[in-house]
Amino acid sequence: MQASGFINLNKPRGLTSHDCVGRLRRILKTKKVGHAGTLDPMATGVLPIAINRATKFIQVHCTRAMFLDKAKAYEGTIRFGITTDTDDITGNVLHEDPVPWLTRAQVEIQLQTFVGHITQRPPLISAFRKDGERMYKLARAGAVCRTERCADPQRRDPVALGARICPKRLSRGTRHRPLASRLMCMQQVSIHVACSEGTYIRSIARECGERLASSSSSCVGGTLSTLHRVQSSGFTSATSLTLEDIAAHVESGTFAPSPIASGLPHLPTWVVDPAMEFRWRNGMAVWWDARHRGTDWPAATGEADTLSAHRVVVAVYNPSHEFLGVTTLERMTDEARSPSSTLMYAVTGPRLFAN
């Protein structure tokens, strides 16, 4: 049986995420390979790869849930005084003007406006969907146009996207640090961004440049010149492997993906006895009374208030600590179905089995 699990790939510059999947299919000699979290071709860094049975854990299901951790972190460089049609350095230059007057204080003031919950305008050349179509396809067909460069993002652009920029690093086991910026030269600044899924770092570069103004221009302009993802879905760049590393391990017979459970450490754990496991595996109704949870509901990583939630996605284990899969527990409030209990849960939604 072919191995299943996750690969922490260090994506090289110049390849699309789909290109990486294609190469790994050839290296691993398996068709069941997928990636979690697209990286632009110019970007490098952590690209979680699922192989074989692990691929079902990165799909978006009917509950709109993708089970991997959605926290991401990036390091990049913004170049000011230049705008491009892709919002990164690989695009066609639309405007370029030196900004020797730009100061560190001016840049840092604007960068701090992106901390917290924000609304972004996605780049025109992006995989973001508008009316069911990818933005890059609409842009090439002329179905969406580039609005005024310094327009209000709420009123003037065709699409708005919600995102959350966190002022702290999200890596587990490390000390939380504020979002950092370091001035590299008069026209460039390096940034560290910890954020949720769906955040476009290219949009941050463009919008930061739009908000910086001089006496001679309405906006300075900014574009992303480098981008490296240092964390995604619980994987970090410190343990990532290149395509060459993976090929060498396969050739030497030492290749072993990370277990499926390694990509789900953020999920609360639910330990089931053999009878409940049988019912769960066979699609039967499963009820669980949290009042009698005992040791079968360990403290969940990052989920101190798990039992107060109406619905919670959990990683399922047996008493021997063997990972069985992922399921959804929903708190029942119908007295006819769960009489005299406000802590009765039922299994709802998809049941994903590890084996």
Task: Answer yes or no: do 149 and 172 share one domain.
Answer: yes
Beta strand pairing call for 222-232 and 44-51: parallel
Task: Answer yes or no: do 199 and 292 share one domain.
Answer: no
Task: Answer yes or no: do 81 and 199 share one domain.
Answer: yes
Position 199 scores a pLDDT of 87
Please write the tens of the pLDDT for every residue from 268-306: 888 899 999 999 999 998 887 766 554 445 444 334 345
- The one catalytic residue among 19, 40, 97, 305: 40
Instruction: Dig out the tokens for 135 from the structure.
Output: 């933005």
Task: Answer yes or no: do 258 and 294 share one domain.
Answer: no
Task: Answer yes or no: do 218 and 85 share one domain.
Answer: yes
Task: Say how far residue 227 (Cα) sits from the centre of its chain.
Answer: 15
Task: Answer yes or no: do 206 and 323 share one domain.
Answer: no
- For the question of residue 40 being annotated catalytic, the response is yes
Query: pTM for the complete prediction?
Result: 0.79
Sign of the C-alpha dihedral computed for residues 339, 342, 343 and 344 taken in this order: positive
Task: Answer yes or no: do 145 and 252 share one domain.
Answer: no
Task: Answer yes or no: do 83 and 179 share one domain.
Answer: yes
Let me know if residue 186 belongs to a domain: yes
CATH of the domain at 20: 3.30.70
CATH of the domain at 342: 2.30.130
Let me know if residue 122 belongs to a domain: yes
CATH of the domain at 111: 3.30.2350.10
Phi–psi pair at 273, nearest 5 degrees: -80, 170
Let me know if residue 275 belongs to a domain: yes
Task: Answer yes or no: do 54 and 112 share one domain.
Answer: no
Q: What is d(CA 280, CA 326) in angstroms, rounded to the nearest whole number?
A: 11
Please write the tens of the pLDDT for every residue from 186-214: 588 999 998 888 888 999 999 999 998 76
User: Can you give the chain as a three-state secondary structure string?
Assistant: CCCCEEEEEEECCCCCHHHHHHHHHHHHCCCCEEECCCCCCCCEEEEEEEEHHHHHHCCCCCCCCCCCCCCEEEEEEEEECEEECCCECCCCEEEECCCCCCCHHHHHHHHHHHCEEEEECCCCCCCCEECCEEHHHHHHHCCCCCCCCCCCCCCCCCCCEEEEEECECCCCCCCCCECCEEEEECCEEEEEEEECCCCCHHHHHHHHHHHCCCCCCCCCCEEEEEEEEEEECCEEHHHCECHHHHHHHHHHCCCCCECHHHHCCCCCEEECCHHHHHHHHCCCCCEEEHHHCCCCCCCCCCCCCHHHCCEEEEEEECCCCCEEEEEEEEECCCCCCCCCCCCEEEEEEEEEECC
Q: Please tell me the total count of domains within the chain.
A: 3
Please write the tens of the pLDDT for every residue from 97-125: 888 888 888 888 888 888 888 888 888 77
Q: Given 196, 224, 252, which residue is the final one in a domain?
A: 224
Let me know if residue 192 belongs to a domain: yes
Q: How far is CA 347 from CA 27, 60, 311, in A?
A: 38, 18, 10
Identify the CA nearest to 231 among candidates 8, 6, 59: 8
Q: What is d(CA 161, CA 199) in angstroms, rounded to the nearest whole number?
A: 8
Task: Answer yes or no: do 257 and 274 share one domain.
Answer: no
Let me know if residue 229 belongs to a domain: no
pLDDT bin (cut points 50, 70, 90) of residue 331 is confident
Task: Say how far residue 286 (Cα) sits from the centre of its chain.
Answer: 31
Let me know if residue 339 belongs to a domain: yes
Q: Given 224, 251, 278, which residue is the final one in a domain?
A: 224
Let me know if residue 343 belongs to a domain: yes
Position 64 scores a pLDDT of 44
Q: What is d(CA 274, CA 198) in angstroms, rounded to the nearest whole number?
A: 39
Let me know if residue 202 belongs to a domain: yes
Instruction: Dig out the tokens for 303 from the structure.
Output: 């989920």
Please write the tens of the pLDDT for every residue from 34-88: 999 889 999 999 999 999 999 999 875 444 455 788 889 999 999 999 999 899 9
Average pLDDT of the chain is: 78
Task: Answer yes or no: do 127 and 184 share one domain.
Answer: yes
Residue range(s) defining the domain that contains residue 112: 77-224
CB 266 within 8 A of CB 301: yes
Task: Answer yes or no: do 220 and 82 share one domain.
Answer: yes
Q: Which residue has the tokens 């209990």?
A: 341
Position 313 scores a pLDDT of 87
